[in-house]
């Protein structure tokens, strides 16, 4: 028996939910001039609240999106965010009830997967989320970098709505090429770019090649430095978003930001783990990987649909036994082969919980690695080699979108 109930929220309750969520992060409520951007990001039927004694004590919501999977397909996907339980109601089953209701609702609505960005890593594994992509925080000493080459195309600054429109179009074209990327809902651009553009002096630079067509963009801002007594804070150019159609456009965009004058450091958060920025530099030591951390936490809502959506390498089949406590209809055995996936009655060769399957799904980590760390049960040791080969990908998955 619980002393709270779970309800879908209507638009009159969104601000209360948002204030509750911000409070769990120890932030004050969103000011009035910012609320219009936040309000646009609430979608009907996708915000849920937990109530006790007539008050909201917890909330969770999601944004409608699509997820790119290995092989080039995209699947319906929910970007889960604004998860919070009021401090006086934690550890009383509120979050578990919210998660159970949300997972069931998302699956029923046709979403194949859900992802989130975890503020605390100990929370979400119990609900079936597994780390599926990683990203890096890069810092480059611009004065030391000495790039080896110069741009070959044209990179130009584009102001205001025109810059956002070009960036938006290029992102929609370029992002689904890489597994792990997600589509951005319209309100993402308002919250992440338009809302902060004026006060944080955000700039958009667009690259075009010999054909004259736009083929990449970078969103950045410059944070002025301070020189206090004994405390050096360099002027830093922050790369916030960078996408390119090919290697030539990618190199030109990085060379552009490295060439901006009166900047001591170029920094970028959330970049792919295989991005070879250091090879553009005359001095590789000018580029420092400040941090490499989990990015996407993935939840497979419909395991048969998710497994069938992606492609597999040529290898002998493997039978996976999946356990899912929150969505038990996912539990069962699945025969995975280069030709596809079939639900079977056969005994599994590898047995794993749905969060572990999520970690392997995009190809960022191998079954052998997770077996070595005792994250799955190995019934047939030869199955590890087959599973690794089937799920192998040519490049690490990456999302590149924070929400």
The token pair that represents 166 in the structure block? 């070009």
Given 171, 312, 367, 403, the catalytic residue: 403
The token pair that represents 29 in the structure block? 């409520």
Q: What is the CA radius of gyration of the chain?
A: 23
Number of residues that make up the chain: 403
The token pair that represents 134 in the structure block? 């990683």
- Check residue 386 and report its DSSP letter: H
Cα distance between residue 240 and residue 387, in whole Å: 36
Phi (first) and psi of residue 348, to 5 degrees: -70, 150
Clarify whether 367 is annotated catalytic.
no
Question: What end-to-end distance do the CA atoms of the chain give, in Å?
Answer: 34
Cα distance between residue 292 and residue 286, in whole Å: 17
Phi (first) and psi of residue 27, to 5 degrees: -110, 155
Clarify whether 171 is annotated catalytic.
no
Given 124, 127, 220, 361, the catalytic residue: 124
Cα distance between residue 226 and residue 224, in whole Å: 7
Strands laid side by side in the 134-141 sheet? 154-157, 203-208, 214-223, 236-244, 265-271, 134-141, 287-294
Q: Looking at the DSSP assignment, which residues form a beta bridge with residue 114?
A: 78, 299
Positions annotated as catalytic residues are: 124, 403
């Amino acid at each position: 028996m619980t002393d709270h109930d779970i309800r879908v929220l209507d638009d009159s309750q969104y601000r209360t939910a948002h204030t509750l969520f911000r409070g769990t992060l120890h932030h004050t409520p969103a000011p009035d001039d910012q609320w219009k951007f936040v309000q646009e990001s609430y979608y009907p039927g996708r915000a849920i609240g937990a109530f006790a004694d007539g008050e909201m004590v917890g909330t969770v919501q999601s944004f409608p999106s699509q997820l790119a999977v290995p092989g080039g397909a995209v699947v319906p996907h929910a970007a889960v965010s604004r998860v919070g339980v009021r401090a006086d109601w934690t550890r009383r089953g509120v979050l578990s009830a919210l998660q159970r209701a949300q997972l069931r609702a998302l699956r029923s609505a046709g979403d194949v997967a859900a992802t989130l960005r975890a503020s605390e890593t100990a929370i979400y594994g119990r609900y079936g989320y597994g780390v599926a992509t990683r990203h890096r925080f890069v810092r480059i000493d611009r004065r030391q970098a000495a790039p080896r080459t110069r741009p070959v195309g044209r990179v130009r600054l584009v102001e205001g709505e025109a810059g956002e429109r070009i960036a938006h179009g290029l992102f929609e074209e370029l992002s689904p090429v890489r597994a792990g990327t997600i589509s951005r809902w319209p309100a993402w651009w308002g919250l992440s770019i338009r809302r902060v553009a004026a006060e944080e002096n955000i700039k958009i630079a667009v690259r075009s090649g010999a054909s004259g067509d736009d083929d990449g963009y970078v969103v950045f801002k410059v944070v002025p430095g301070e020189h206090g007594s004994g405390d050096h804070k360099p002027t830093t150019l922050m790369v916030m978003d960078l996408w390119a159609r090919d290697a030539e456009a990618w190199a030109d965009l990085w060379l552009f930001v490295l060439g901006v004058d009166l900047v001591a450091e170029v920094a970028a958060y959330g970049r792919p783990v295989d991005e070879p920025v250091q090879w553009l530099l005359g001095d590789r030591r000018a580029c420092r990987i400040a941090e490499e951390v989990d990015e996407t936490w993935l939840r497979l809502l419909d395991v048969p649909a998710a497994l069938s959506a992606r492609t597999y390498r040529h290898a002998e089949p493997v039978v996976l036994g999946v356990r899912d406590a929150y969505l038990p209809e996912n539990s069962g055995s699945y025969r995975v082969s280069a030709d596809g996936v079939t639900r079977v009655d056969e005994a599994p060769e590898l047995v794993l919980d749905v969060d572990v399957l999520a970690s392997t799904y995009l190809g960022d980590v191998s079954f052998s690695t997770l077996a070595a760390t005792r994250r799955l049960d190995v019934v047939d040791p030869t199955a590890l080699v087959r599973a690794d080969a089937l799920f192998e990908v040519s490049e690490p998955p990456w999302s590149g979108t924070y929400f």
